[in-house]
Amino acid sequence: MRIKISKPFIAFAFLLVCGFLSGTVNGLFGTGGGIIAVFALSHVPFFQNCLSPKEVFATTLFSAFIMSLSSVFIYARNGGVDFSAALPYLPAALAGGCAGAFLLDKIKTGVLSKIFALLVLYAGATLMWR
């Protein structure tokens, strides 16, 4: 007897695995989970027609926010967070986040993809040669 698995189920299972990997990578390194999320949302055929590239980036930002919150909670519970050291970064990070969200609708998707690729390459090179 052959069991047929539906495409939506396979897409859902793929997203679950990618979500777990995103959270794990983000929790371990403090970054990188969003890259996996962008890949997952961009390459699942079931979702390719549902989300525009800009919606993929916006959805990834929200998921990265949730991943970061959960990581902060666990790190803080274990005494690994110095909130006073983070305070100087918060106003600029808030302003940058607002500016990025505002610019998301103004930048062409192709340009946005190239900027993202350059940032990923820069981050990878920086981490390799540290």
Looking at residue 57, what is its pLDDT? Answer: 81
Considering the domain boundaries, does residue 1 fall inside one?
no
| Residue 2: per-residue pLDDT | 67
Q: Which residue has the tokens 């996996």?
A: 36
Kindly state whether residue 96 falls inside one of the protein's structural domains. Answer: yes
Q: Look at the chain and report how many structural domains it folds into.
A: 1
The CB density around residue 25, as the number of other CB atoms within 10 Å, is 18
pLDDT > 70: percent of the chain: 92
pLDDT of residue 95: 94
Whether 63 shows a pLDDT value over 80: the answer reads yes
In a domain, residue 49? The reply is yes
Which residues span the domain enclosing 93? Answer: 7-128
**Structural contact between residues 36 and 15, judged by C-beta atoms closer than 8 angstroms:** no
pLDDT of residue 79: 82
Say whether pLDDT at 8 is over 80.
no
The pLDDT tens digits of the residues spanning 69-127 come to 888 888 888 888 888 888 898 899 899 988 988 888 888 888 887 887 888 788 878 87
Question: In angstroms, rounded to a whole number, what is the distance separating the alpha carbons of residues 2 and 75?
Answer: 46
Own/partner contacts of 27-33, CB < 8 Å, gap of 24 or more, are: 27/67, 27/70, 27/71, 27/74, 30/71, 31/123, 33/63, 33/64, 33/67
- The answer to whether residue 2 sits within a structural domain is no
